[in-house]
Each structure stands twice: as structure tokens, then as C-alpha cells.
């Protein structure tokens, strides 16, 4: 499977006072892309509620490479860079590319799946785990510690 991709047009509300896409907009578009992938595979917000599981992000890094301005289209991809054997922890990556083909940013998120009843990281429900396993791998793959182990990613 190739990387999941989603295209967005930069809105007024995505821009800062300098007319560039604001740093928070990069995170928001990355979130929308991850949720779009899950939704495209049949995992909805109702599934999160019913299973009492949700994503928790423990680290986010953004590398800004080029400007993005109001009205420009950007396409984000979505790939995996790491996963724990129990699939409770993940490392996910996005690359943002303008319509002219220029790479404008990279977003890396590290986190896990939280059991909202126990308030602890735990392996996700099998339906969600299967969807995550389908994501293509990119970059240097990392095996992350299982939920019961200390985090060192």
C-alpha cells in the first residue's frame, strides 16, 4: 500500500499575521489526515467512543522547510515510522507538499493508544490495530517499547 494522502487548501484561519500558514495549522492538518485515514478504513469517532480508546500524543516535531500561503493547496501523506510489538505505542510521520511539488514541512508524532477507562496506554482493539498495521512504513523504522515498558523513543 502506498502512503495515505489528503489535500487541503490553506484557509484564512490557517494563517498568521505574516500571511504564512501558522504553526498550529500544520498540526491541525496532520491530525485531520490521520483521522481521515482511519475514517477511510472504517474507524469512526463512534468507534473511539464505543471502544473507550483514543490516541494520545506525547511528542510532536515539525520541520518547517518552505513558506505556505493563503489559498495554496498542500498534500499531506501519512506513514508509520515505528510501532511497539503490542501496538500500544506508535511513531507516525507526515510530509507536506505544495501543489508545485515542493516539500514544505515534515511532522513527526509519537504517542500511543489510551484505554480511557483505565487511563493507561494499552493495545488498541483489534479492528483499530489491523488498520494501523496496513499503513506503509517510512524512514528509519523503530520498534517502540510495549505499553508496560518505559518509553525511550
Q: What is the CATH number of the domain that holds 23?
A: 3.10.129.10
Residue 28 located in a structural domain: yes
Residue 148 located in a structural domain: no
Count of other CB atoms within 10 angstroms of residue 89: 26
Q: Give the model confidence (pLDDT) of 104-132 as tens digits.
A: 999 999 999 999 999 999 999 999 999 99
Residue 146 located in a structural domain: no
Q: Give the model confidence (pLDDT) of 51-84 as tens digits.
A: 999 999 999 999 999 999 999 999 999 999 999 9
Residue 151 located in a structural domain: no
Residue 117 located in a structural domain: yes
* pLDDT value, residue 153: 47
Total domains, the chain: 1
Supply the range of the domain harboring residue 111: 4-136
Residue 122 located in a structural domain: yes
User: Whole-prediction pTM value?
Assistant: 0.92
Residue 126 DSSP class: H
Residue 100 located in a structural domain: yes
- Separation CA 108–CA 27 (nearest Å): 10
Amino acid at each position: 500500500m502506498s502512503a495515505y494522502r489528503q489535500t487541503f487548501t490553506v484557509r484564512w484561519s490557517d494563517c498568521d499575521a505574516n500571511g504564512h500558514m501558522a504553526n498550529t495549522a500544520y498540526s491541525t492538518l496532520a491530525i485531520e489526515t490521520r483521522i481521515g485515514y482511519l475514517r477511510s478504513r472504517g474507524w469512526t469517532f463512534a468507534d473511539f467512543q464505543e471502544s473507550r480508546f483514543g490516541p494520545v500524543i506525547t511528542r510532536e516535531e515539525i520541520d518547517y522547510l518552505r513558506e505556505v500561503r493563503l489559498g495554496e493547496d498542500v498534500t499531506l501523506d501519512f506513514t508509520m515510522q515505528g510501532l511497539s510489538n503490542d501496538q500500544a505505542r506508535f511513531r507516525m510521520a507526515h510530509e507536506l507538499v505544495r501543489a508545485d511539488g515542493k516539500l514544505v514541512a515534515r511532522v513527526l508524532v509519537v504517542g500511543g493508544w489510551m484505554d480511557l477507562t483505565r487511563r493507561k496506554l494499552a493495545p488498541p482493539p483489534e479492528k483499530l490495530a489491523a488498520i494501523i498495521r496496513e499503513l506503509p512504513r517510512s524512514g528509519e523504522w523503530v520498534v517502540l517499547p510495549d505499553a508496560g515498558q518505559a518509553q525511550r523513543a
